[in-house]
Structure 1
Amino acid sequence: MMTAHTPTGAVQVGYAAADITPTMPVQLIGFAREDDTSRGVLEPLVAQVLLFDQDGDRCCLVTLDLLGLTQQLGDRLRDELAQLLCCARSQVMLCCSHTHSGPDCAAAPAYYRFLCRQVSGAARAALQDLAPAAGAWAVVRAAIGQNRRGDGPVDDRIGALKLARPGRPDLLLIRLTAHPNVLTWENRRISPDYFGAVRRQLGTQLGAEVLVTQGAAGNIRPAFRWHRANYLETHPLQKAALARTPQLMLEIERDSLAALERMAAAVAAALAPAVTALPLRPLQVVRMVSDWLDCTSPVPDPQQERAIADEAWTMGQVPAAGWRAEIARLRRSGVAVQHTPVELQFLQIDGGCLCGTICEAMCELALEAAELADDELLFFGGYTGGCSGYLPDAAEYDRGGYEVLWSMLLYYPYHGRVMPLDRDTGHRLAVRAAACWRALRAGGPLPPQPSTEPSANT
């Protein structure tokens, strides 16, 4: 168990970035098209490394313009960085943007090796860039996302940590919440989606290096897109029948490119004035820790399996052959319940906290965690360490549909399980995130886990 944190020396911050754009065509991931091969580059992909050092105690945040990594690939990269930086894996946080216009790392081993080299190079450069830092947090609100259910809640907070170091450009670390699929299924060019536009617009306005991290955006679509995209993504049969005329393709591209800039403009309009006026002071506390929960998911019985497969095909044309074969294999092996250890990672910087899990969390969980902690500076998010399936709240779990069930038929090989985590898992993680943040904010260790929860790795 972690002991209380007692800061002594000055906090130093280092920064570096690397280009992680594929140099050859790769398989894209996010839209499950028949042909997912990339066709050129709209905008380069970037990895950014933010390194903190206090008396030789280091932790590192890495932002990646990727939909996600499998847990295995994410942990391999974290281990490589931990060895390079002389710290533990738990002190390396990977924050994936979840762009739907990026490479499938699991399907491209050569690209993954290139990614690791580029990120490691940036980490070495960040080590050489360390300097004492002052900073402060700001929270603003902007309408950049919409709940896919239409009348559901959104997390419209944009959190920003401004960091200043002598003789260097300011650094701005952002947490916002909206799916990076402004570019629709018709786009096959590599792109960071609206994250790239946010970095460009804010970086130009503020003269700063901007790092963007994703919140609990599992059910939050972007507010600005091609005007028919929202309807067609929920009506796959109509989308498949849509006549793809040259005029329509030009309309989609034109509107989508304009929407990228509108997303960024909304962020910049809300954030730039607040960040400019921030009073900064030397950083006092920086620490990164992990907590673990043992989570479970059932292997469906034959009746449930047939019902899910039939519904997924009827409603969304989602094939189920591979998923059903994996269920059959699990049954032959006597597996009725699959166990998944879920990491909950915390980066505390003075009075604010980025908290994340590898799951594709839904926004209700971020709002619940902040409310339970009574602190809008607790930013719970997903895509941390990679991406491993949707994490719904209980109400969304009961509704089912693509996010809860059908997506598992497509992506079960990436997630290592055939069903979503149990109905109460999202609530458990939100409750635990709030409890841990209250303890960390008070300067203490992580609290013991309630005895009603399964035992966890510590």
Structure 2
Amino acid sequence: MSKVGVYKSDITPPLGTDFIGYHRPCGIRNIDERIYSTAFVFEHHHDKSVFISIDNIGMLIEDTSVIRKRIAAKLDVPYEKITVVFTHTHSGPATVSSSERVNEYKTVLIENTVVAAVKAHERMQPSEVGWNVTLGDIGVNRREETAEGRVKMGTNKKGVVDKRIGILAIRHQQDQTLSGAIVFCTAHPNVLKSDSDCLSGDYPGETRRILEPALGCPVIIVQGAAGNVNARYRGSRNALKNMAYALSASVLGMIPAILFQGIFKLQTPSTIMPIKLINIPEPEGIKKMARAAEEQWGVGTSKWLAHMLGKFELDERQISIDLEIQSFQVNEGSFSGIPMEPFSEAALEIQDRLHSPLAFFGGYTNGYLGYLPTKEAYPYGGYEVELNPVVYGPVTSLWMPPAEDTSQKVVHKVLELHNHKEVEKCFETNQSVRDVGKK
């Protein structure tokens, strides 16, 4: 018996709450749209998995862990079978601050998210699910190369973008009406910028405004490997609508061709992989990184600088952290995620190695640390490679960029989580899956 339950819980903060995503001198002054935590509970032969989307740029791993632990206790579902993804809106409320208002809001957000999971569990009904995928142009590669052989934030028309737009739709078995939809796409939700004082789910929220009345059910937008991909349209309300029109048109076009069936596979494997960070440089190198962040992003770096210099003095130049990699798998499709912002190249490699356009990979999953560039991106530097740890390291504890081979190791681990026999064979023979498939 296949069952699915869905519930949407309001997590709109009070006016005055701080923003996160772009610096604004003021807090939230207006509410363009309310924001939500939406929970899906899947059951197959008494095995359950919980999939939750939260309208936020991304909470810390420890705060996300609180949500997962409370849901696990409430529903008697293993912690590792609970997936929490963040839409990554850049016009949402902060959850990390010394502000009493922000901490009070975080408490409400956590409570309402747990409530969403409990109520989704209570509403489980016999259901069928179906996948579909298409291509769309909603994102642009943002790592623009300069004449000096570096990169800056801009538009790289030749750069890689994962253009897939996918959907996992759920319908009631009895009357065949839709009960929920999970949409997968790749483009930073940073359409609205620092000149906006409105709370907004950005284009994922605007897309929901179109899709939910049209489909008659809750819809969530799951972000892919958008670490190097910006929204195609940016900077205005019209741009927000253009993004939403483009994405919703692709989704609505897929609905008629979806083939629904009962759940025959429901797995949520998870693993912890230790990853090394780049060695802390000499003091002059540390200071150079701090100056670059201050000059290019206008941020204070004193806390990061003091911490790094202290590590160097203690001869603790090698730092490693634990990274959770989780794969939510339903029938023939999957979404694998990490608490980082991977580049699109990694997602496309996973799709290629698994021979499946329904194998999605993304970030903002079970917390947030920082960026995960590909090895090929490191020589070009730029914000995602060099500066993000300086800007956010004191908050996320990603003090230095990951070692250059980390992205490839994550890709291999995702492939292992899929238990793909050809992939396992490739690890032994050092062949590509594409080559194996040709034999």
Scaled by the length of structure 1, the TM-score of the pair is: 0.85
Secondary structure of the residue that 1:282 maps to in structure 2? coil
The residue that corresponds to 1:271 in the other structure is 251
| Residue 64 (structure 2) aligns with | 74
What is residue 394 of structure 2 aligned with on the other side?
413
Aligned-pair CA distance for 1:325: 0.8
How far the C-alpha of 1:32 sits from its partner, in A, is: 3.5
For structure 2, the residue ranges without an aligned partner over 5 or more in a row are 144-155, 429-439
Taking the aligned partners of 2:20 and 2:288, their CA distance within structure 1 comes to 26
CA contact (8 A) 1:58 1:87 kept: yes
Report the Cα offset of residue 369 of structure 1.
1.4
Work out whether residues 289 and 390 of structure 2, in 8 Å CA contact, stay in contact via their aligned partners in 1: no
Match of 1:401 among 352, 357, 382: 382
Alignment correspondent of 1:248: none
Q: Which amino acid aligns with 1:122?
A: A
> Structure 1: how far apart are the matches of 2:200 and 2:180?
23
Distance in 1 (CA, whole Å) between partners of 2:392 and 2:297 is 15
Q: 1:300 to 1:36 in 2, by over 3 A?
A: farther
Query: Shift of residue 198 of structure 1?
Result: 1.1
Counterpart selection for 2:273 from 280, 293, 305: 293
Q: Distance in 2 between matches of 1:339 and 1:63?
A: 28
Structure 2 CA distance for partners of 1:449 and 1:13, relative to 1, 3 Å: farther
Alignment-mate amino acid for residue 186 of structure 2: T
Task: State the match for 1:54 in structure 2.
Answer: 44
Match of residue 361 from structure 1: 342
Partner of 1:216: 225
Q: Counterpart of 1:337 in 2: which secondary structure?
A: coil
User: Within 5 A, what are the aligned runs for 1:303-318?
Assistant: 303-318=284-299
Separation (CA, whole Å) in 1 of partners of 2:87 and 2:355: 27
Q: Secondary structure at the match of 2:198?
A: coil
Shift of 1:438: 4.5
Q: In the TM superposition, what whole-angstrom CA distance separates every residue of 1:192-217 from its partner, at most 9, and x where no partner exists?
A: 00111111212222333212111111
Question: Are positions 1:188 and 2:197 aligned together?
Answer: yes
**Which amino acid letter does the alignment assign opposite residue 127 of structure 1?**
H
Greater Cα shift, 97-106 or 397-406: 397-406
For residue 132 of structure 1, the aligned residue among 103, 126, 132 is 126
Q: CA deviation at 1:36?
A: 5.0
Taking the aligned partners of 2:296 and 2:32, their CA distance within structure 1 comes to 32
Q: Does structure 1 retain, via aligned residues, the 8 Å contact 2:167–2:183?
A: yes
Percent of aligned positions with the same letter in both sequences? 29
Displacement of 1:447 after TM fit? 6.9
Q: CA deviation at 1:332?
A: 4.3
Report the Cα distance in structure 2 between the residues aligned to 1:447 and 1:59, rounded to whole angstroms. 26
Q: In structure 1, how many angstroms separate the alpha carbons of the residues matched to 2:425 and 2:49?
A: 23
| Structure 1: unaligned runs, 5 residues or longer | 1-9, 227-255, 452-458
Q: Per-residue deviation at 1:338? A: 1.3
Q: Give 1:314 shift.
A: 3.7
Say if 1:58 and 1:85, in contact at 8 Å, map to a contact too: no
Aligned mate of 2:207, from 194, 198, 204:
198
2:78 to 43, 65, 88: 88
Aligned residue pairs total: 408
Cα distance change of structure 1 residues 197 and 299 upon mapping to structure 2, 3 Å threshold: same
Deviations 1:99-122 (A, max 9, x none): 111112122221111011101111
Cα distance in 2, alignment partners of residues 450 and 145 from structure 1 = 32
Name the structure 2 match of 1:28.
19
Match of 1:6 in 2: none
Does 2:114 match 1:120?
yes
Matched, 1:99 2:89: yes
Residue type at the aligned position of 1:379 = F
Q: Which amino acid aligns with 1:397?
A: Y
C-alpha contact (below 8 Å) 1:299/1:418 kept by paired residues:
no
| Structure 1 runs (4+) greater than 6 angstroms displaced | 446-451
Alpha carbons of 1:273 and 1:449: their partners in 2 closer, same or farther (altered >3 Å)? closer
Instruction: Verify the 8 A CA contact 1:393 1:424 in the aligned structure 2.
Output: yes
Contact residue 358 and residue 382 of structure 1 kept, 8 A? yes
What code does the residue aligned with 1:145 have?
G
Computed over aligned residues only, the root mean square deviation of the Cα atoms, in angstroms, reads: 2.1
CA contact (8 A) 1:15 1:126 kept: yes
Distance 1:282 1:162, change over 3 A: same
* 8 Å CA contact retained: 1:175, 1:214: yes
Counterpart among 330, 334, 341 of residue 311 in structure 2: 330
Offset of residue 329 of structure 1: 2.9
Distance 1:408 1:16, change over 3 A: same
| Cα separation, 2, equivalents of 1:148 and 1:430 | 22
The question of 1:381 aligning with 2:381 is answered no
**3-state SS of 2:408 partner:** helix
Q: Secondary structure at the match of 1:266?
A: helix
> Which 10-residue stretch deviates more, 354-363 or 163-172?
163-172
Cα contact 1:133–1:163 (8 A) shared by 2: yes
8 Å CA contact 1:199, 1:210 repeated in 2? yes
Worse overlay, 12-21 or 392-401: 392-401
- Please give the secondary structure, in 1, of the residue aligned with 2:269: strand
SS at match of 1:159: strand
Matched residues in 2 for 1:346 and 1:296: separation?
22
Give, as a single letter, the amino acid of the residue that structure 2 aligns with 1:154.
V
**Given residue 142 of structure 1, which amino acid in structure 2 is its aligned partner?**
G
Alpha-carbon distance in structure 2 between the residues aligned to 1:190 and 1:110: 17
CA drift of 1:342 comes to: 0.6
Paired residues of 1:370 and 1:434 also in contact (CA < 8 A): no
Answer with 134-143 or 329-338: which moved more: 329-338
Query: In the aligned structure 2, how far is the partner of 1:18 from the partner of 1:315?
Result: 38
Q: 1:419 to 1:280 in 2, by over 3 A?
A: same
Q: Which amino acid aligns with 1:134?
A: E
Q: Is the 8 A contact 1:175 1:212 kept in 2?
A: yes
In the TM superposition, what is the alpha-carbon distance from 1:328 to its structure 2 partner? 2.4
